[in-house]
Amino acid sequence: MSRLKSFDAGVPRPSAGIASDLIPKLRLLVAMSERGHLSAAAEAAGVPQPTATRWLAALSRTVGVPLTRRAGQRVELTRAGGVLAESVRAAHSALAVGVARAYEASDPGQGQVVFGFLRTLGVSRAPQILRTFRATHPRVRLTLIQAPHEQLVAHLHDGTVDIALTVIRTTDHDLHATEMFKEPFVVVLPAEHRLARHDHLRLHQIRDEPFVGLTPGIALRTRIDEICASARVRPRYILETDEVDTVRGLATAGVGIAILPARQGGPLTGSIEIPVVPRTYRHIGLLVSVRHTLEPAARRFHQWTTRHAANGTG
């Protein structure tokens, strides 16, 4: 069994040297996470594949746990590698926010807003808000962060995000929420499914169906589990994933059925979305931290966006 080498902790290494050594390797790790293939990751990082292999091995030695493994002819990230890649992405977002804050400090007249939103809102809702805001406030700089609800809340608390478009939950403390819209929960089925003719569905009608859904621990999965529990239904999940779009695609393909918020713009081609009854909604709002004072540009963005939604143009 191979052993990971460790360096002598008693021998100091210059911090700048350590950072310059780690940064390109961490970029490669993120590229592996995003592309899922070593050759594509190496190309994205701008290094030959043999170099990429050596870098990932060296990074594993530095961290002290295996970050990659062989799966047949392919190299893939281990769970530890995936966790580290996600942390690197979060750190990169925080650094981008820091740079934006520095620009704002040097030129407060233009202003900077760090706007976070759920990935599921990045297709239509958030772009609509941003497009119309930019049309009337072209000098305000916007930094965008897409993340799960839990990360957005953490960013609001630590001040790296000014305003977030995300779920309103009573369990989120020290946050002020302004509701923007609500999304009905629906059952997602392939168009040829035997239940597709129904105008609405009660959960007991689908209790024996195989389900596809989000990974436990994700806020939306928790909400869906609560809805099912209130109807005394315990879904039988056959596949779970981290992405809402993947869940919707699996349901459309007939792998299993899914309970999700209705898709803005209508169901995917080949699928049907049937409202759950009693009607249940996911409430989406603009969240800000009560612990942090918004800068003028962020206040303008918040006020404009809430008026924009109230006028029905969002």
Identify the structural domains of the chain with CATH numbers, from first to last.
15-86 (1.10.10.10), 111-180+283-310 (3.40.190.10), 183-281 (3.40.190.290)
Q: How confident is the model at residue 173 (pLDDT cuts 50, 70, 90)?
A: confident
Task: For residues 54-62, give the mean pLDDT.
Answer: 91
Q: What pLDDT was estimated at residue 5?
A: 40
- 184 or 62: which leads in pLDDT: 184
CA distances from 203 to 208, 228, 258, 259 (A): 10, 7, 11, 10
Q: What is the pLDDT of residues 199-257, one digit of tens each?
A: 999 999 999 999 999 999 888 999 999 999 999 999 999 999 988 999 999 999 999 99
Determine the Cα angle at 3 with ends 65 and 82, to 5°: 20
What is the DSSP pairing of strand 112-117 with strand 141-146?
Answer: parallel
d(CA 107, CA 92): 23
CA distances from 264 to 23, 120, 208 (A): 39, 10, 28
Q: What pLDDT was estimated at residue 101?
A: 66
- 100 or 27: which leads in pLDDT: 27
Q: How confident is the model at residue 1 (pLDDT cuts 50, 70, 90)?
A: very low
Assess whether pLDDT exceeds 80 at residue 59: yes
Task: For residues 175-192, give the mean pLDDT.
Answer: 96
Q: Considering only CA atoms, give the Rg of the chain.
A: 23
Q: What pLDDT was estimated at residue 6?
A: 40
Q: What pLDDT was estimated at residue 122?
A: 82
Q: What pLDDT was estimated at residue 103?
A: 65
Q: What is the pLDDT of residues 247-280, one digit of tens each?
A: 999 999 999 999 999 998 899 999 999 999 999 9
Q: First and final CA of the chain: distance in angstroms? A: 59
Share of the chain above pLDDT 70, in %: 88
Determine the Cα angle at 160 with ends 77 and 15, to 5°: 60
Q: Which of 91, 60, 95 is nearest to 75 (CA)?
A: 60
61: phi then psi, degrees, rounded to nearest 5: -65, -40
In the block, residue with structure tokens 């869906």: 224
Assess whether pLDDT exceeds 80 at residue 310: no
CB 134 within 8 A of CB 142: yes
Q: What pLDDT was estimated at residue 124?
A: 80
Q: What pLDDT was estimated at residue 3?
A: 40
User: In whole numbers, what is the pLDDT of the chain averaged over residues?
Assistant: 86
d(CA 299, CA 162): 9
Assess whether pLDDT exceeds 80 at residue 8: no
Task: For residues 11-33, give the mean pLDDT.
Answer: 71
Rounded to two decimals, the pTM is 0.63
